Amino acid sequence: FRIIGGTEATTCEFPWMVMIYNQQTESVCGGTILNSTRILTAAHCFFSEDESTGAPVKANANTLIVFSGSSTMPFGVAEPDGLVRRTVLEIITHENFVPATLENDIAILKLTRPIIFDACHKPLCMVDGSKAPQQATNCRTMGWGIASNAVDATAERQLKYVDIPVSTDDACRRIYGNLSSDRTFCAGTNGKDSCQGDSGGPFACLEGDGRYYFYGVVSAGISQNCGTMLGIYTKVYAYQSWISSKTQ
């Protein structure tokens, strides 16, 4: 999914943000630095459909490149200053991820080499579960995906972000049916949303201590209605135990 109605980010404004590029499918997803060797993202980023059987096929880790350290990505022009590349050793998708319904849409990438932390590389603070997403304010999501619903829209080179409110669980269910409010939430407003290419990126909220906290992962929505329908986000705190077990 991609940022609709967004603003261009400045260099290193969101130092936890990475782009995940699949060289085989030429697809783009976002991700968030958890620690020097782990990236949190969406599981559906790594599955495609077999052309003959329609069955889900998982990507190979060696087809992925993780870009970080720059809000500008190296597509079609010279490589921007500060850009860091890492290859991927392992794709760890949730054991109960269901590609057809995007249930448990969460994954961790294990990098082949650590990321060196600096002003442009920092992990995003994890929430402690004391506050529901609906109670958070000053929330935004970000990514390099498409910026419109046009049929010929392509991923953008410049990172964008958008400030969007969290919706009520009832509003989410009216659109998407029986979603689990324990594991997901919805967010968005008219003209502002994530869209194709933003999947896996963070939903982060600025708290009173001046730091951003990690509330959600961009999961799904209705792609042709980006900016007019609520987007679905995987609730990070609901998977805290799973994340901890995969980042040791």
Q: What is the pLDDT of residues 9-18, one digit of tens each?
A: 998 999 999 9
Decide: 31 and 109 in contact? Cβ < 8 Å: yes
Instruction: Please give the Cα distance from 5 to 194 (Å, whole number).
Output: 9
Spell out the domain ranges in the chain: 7-12+124-237, 17-122
Rounded-to-10 torsion of CA 244, 42, 99, 227:
140
pLDDT for 36-54, tens place per residue?
A: 999 999 999 999 888 889 8
Instruction: Please give the Cα distance from 138 to 164 (Å, whole number).
Output: 8
Superfamily name with CATH number, domain 17-122:
Trypsin-like serine proteases (2.40.10.10)
- Averaged pLDDT, groups of 10, the chain, 248 residues long: 71 95 91 98 93 91 96 75 94 95 95 97 94 90 65 64 90 85 85 61 94 94 56 95 94
Q: Do domains 7-12+124-237 and 17-122 have the same CATH topology?
A: yes
Task: Count Cα neighbours of 244 within 13 Å in the Cβ-side half-sphere.
Answer: 7
Instruction: Please give the Cα distance from 67 to 173 (Å, whole number).
Output: 35
What does CATH list as the number for 7-12+124-237? 2.40.10.10
User: Which residues does 152 contact at the CB level (< 8 Å), separation at least 6?
Assistant: none
Q: Tokens in use for 194?
A: 């994530």
The pLDDT value given to residue 152: 40
Decide: 45 and 143 in contact? Cβ < 8 Å: no
Q: Name the DSSP letter for residue 81.
A: T
Q: Residue 160: enclosing H or E segment and its boundaries?
A: strand 160-163
What is the tally of helices (H) and strands (E) in the chain?
2, 16
